Each structure stands twice: as C-alpha cells, then as structure tokens.
C-alpha cells in the first residue's frame, strides 16, 4: 500500500481505516483485522511506556517500536498495511536538517513509508515541504495535537469561529505543502465534515465525528485495555476486565497451595 492509494480511496469514496500498533503482537492483530494503515503513534509513550504525555518519547524508541511492528506482519509485503510513524517531540521542531535526519532514520531502518507530525506553524510547513522534496511522505495532524499539551491541554479544539477559521487555513496549508492526508483530533464533527469536502486529501478523524474520509483509533483504547480512556474513543468491549478475569482464573487454577479453596483438581492442571 502506498500513500497515493489513500488519495485514490478518497476519490472512490472508500473509507480508510487506521489503527495504531506498538509491537509485533499488536501489528499482527491490526493487520489480520484489515487496517489499511498502521500508525506507530507516539501515543505509545502513554499506552505502553507509562508516561503521562507523549513528550518524553525519543526517536530511538520510535524506531525500536516501529521495527517490532514491521516484524509482526504476517501477510506478503504487497498486502501489508501502509506503516506511518510519528515523528516524536523535538525531532522536527529544531529545523529542517534535523527533521530530515529523524524521518530518514525511521524510513531507512524500518518498513515505515511515511511520517506524521503535528501542527502547521510556518516552521513546520518548511519542514514538511523539505521532507516531501527528499522523498519522505508526510501525514499532517491538527486539532488536539498532544505534543502541545502544555499549551492546549487535552480538551476539544476548534470550538469558536476564530479557531475554526484557523483550522481551515492550516488544513489548506498542509494540503498545499504536500501532505498526503490529515488527522483531525477532537474537533466538532461539523468542522471535520466541512473540511472533508473542502480538501482533496483524505481527512482521518479521531473524536471528529463520523463524516470523515477515514477513522484512526489508538488500538489499546478501542480494545478497552487503557487505564484512562479518552472520552472520544469508546471501547468495543471491556478488554482490561476480561484479561484480568481470565488471568485471575488461570492463577487460581494453577495455584498448587492446597489451602487455597479455589485450587482446581489435578485434571485441570494438565493444560501446562
Ligand atoms: O499517537 C497517536 O496514536 C496519534 C493518534 C491519536 C492519531 O497520533
């Protein structure tokens, strides 16, 4: 799958599905489920590394996890999902050269074919244009941009007229700069829906209503595994509780302590 394919999907009205993965197990699952795109998002800093924001994530960590994601795919190369990797905080904010080196390192050493970065400030647009000139496809990200948490928090964005005008302007700038798609996070559905019609590149929503060209979800959130669920990512089932109950049962059935009233008979232990 190539990035240009996603623009074709939009033209054909074919819905685009994007799921995050952070290791070989999660990538094999989302590939088998049929995701078009696998995003190695820097949300892995919160989901699997236990940080309270995405800011501490390093380029080395992104590469380490992206390599594991690539190793997890089971389908032939031509049938594997497109892999997009987030550029972590400070890997692209300090200038174009540093950004090319960071993005190039990810693409050179893993199966990722594109990077995602946040915002549309003038410096960011220069970085995007340079990356694209160097042959590195870029996905944009507007609305709730978690790397700016200390400025905007985790709350819903583009709620007033002024910030809606800004997101329109910024989306257009990202498209003109050459982004192949844009993630819109936690903004009103009507704004995302209008942007979907206004832009020729795909609009991928998360907490941005259902009228987008595609949807992206943090896989741990929709599997109900995250301890803190974002309000806009409803779990499909109570994954954490199901896992805990199953493991509790296993612990009980394997407990060799005869004092333990829940210990099962030796028959149930033959599963070792
Ligand atoms: O890091 C991530 O997982 C993301 C998605 C929430 C879009 O950027």
Tokens standing for 62? 């992104």
Continuous segment of H or E residues that includes residue 170: helix 161-177
Give residue 161's region: left, alpha or beta (phi > 0; psi -120 to 50).
alpha
Q: Per-residue pLDDT tens for 198-254?
A: 999 999 999 999 999 999 999 999 999 998 888 888 899 999 999 999 999 999 999
Q: Per-residue pLDDT tens for 140-183?
A: 999 999 999 999 999 999 999 999 999 999 999 999 999 999 99
Query: Strand 138-143 vs strand 203-206: parallel, antiparallel, or unpaired?
Result: unpaired
Catalytic positions: 185
Give the atom of ligand 1 at the shortest distance from the alpha carbon of 54. 1
The residue nearest atom 6 of ligand 1, judged by CA position, is 218
Q: What's the 3-state SS for 92-115? A: CCCCHHHHHHHHHHHHHHCCCCEE
Q: Give the CATH number of domain 3-237.
A: 3.20.20.60
- The model's pTM is 0.92
- Which of 43, 49, 148, 221 most suits a substitution to test ligand 1, by most atoms within 8 Å of the C-beta? 43
Cβ–ligand 1 contact at 221 (below 6 Å)? no
């Amino acid at each position: 799958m190539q990035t240009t394919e996603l623009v074709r999907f939009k033209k054909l009205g074919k819905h685009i599905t994007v799921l995050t993965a952070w290791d070989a197990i999660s990538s094999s699952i989302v590939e088998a489920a049929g995701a078009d795109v696998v995003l190695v998002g820097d949300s892995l800093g919160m989901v699997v590394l236990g940080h309270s924001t995405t800011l501490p994530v390093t380029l080395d960590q992104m590469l380490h996890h992206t390599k594991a994601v690539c190793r997890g795919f089971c389908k032939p190369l031509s049938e594997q999902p497109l892999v997009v990797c987030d550029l972590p905080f400070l890997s692209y904010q300090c200038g174009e050269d540093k950004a090319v080196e960071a993005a190039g390192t990810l693409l050179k050493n893993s199966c990722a074919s594109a990077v995602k970065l946040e915002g549309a400030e003038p410096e960011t647009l220069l970085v995007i244009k340079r990356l694209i000139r160097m042959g590195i496809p870029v996905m944009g990200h507007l609305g709730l941009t978690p790397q700016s948490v200390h400025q905007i928090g985790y709350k819903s964005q583009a709620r007033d007229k002024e910030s809606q005008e800004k997101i329109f302007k910024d989306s257009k700038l990202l498209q003109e700069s050459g982004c192949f798609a844009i993630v819109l996070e936690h903004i009103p559905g009507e704004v995302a829906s209008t942007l979907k019609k206004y832009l020729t590149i795909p609009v991928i929503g998360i907490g941005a209503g259902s009228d987008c060209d595609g949807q992206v979800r943090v896989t741990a959130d929709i599997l109900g595994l995250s301890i803190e669920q974002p309000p806009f990512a409803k779990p499909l089932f109570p994954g954490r509780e199901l896992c805990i109950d199953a493991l509790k049962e296993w612990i009980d059935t394997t407990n060799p302590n005869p004092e333990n009233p829940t210990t099962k008979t030796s028959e149930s232990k033959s599963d070792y």
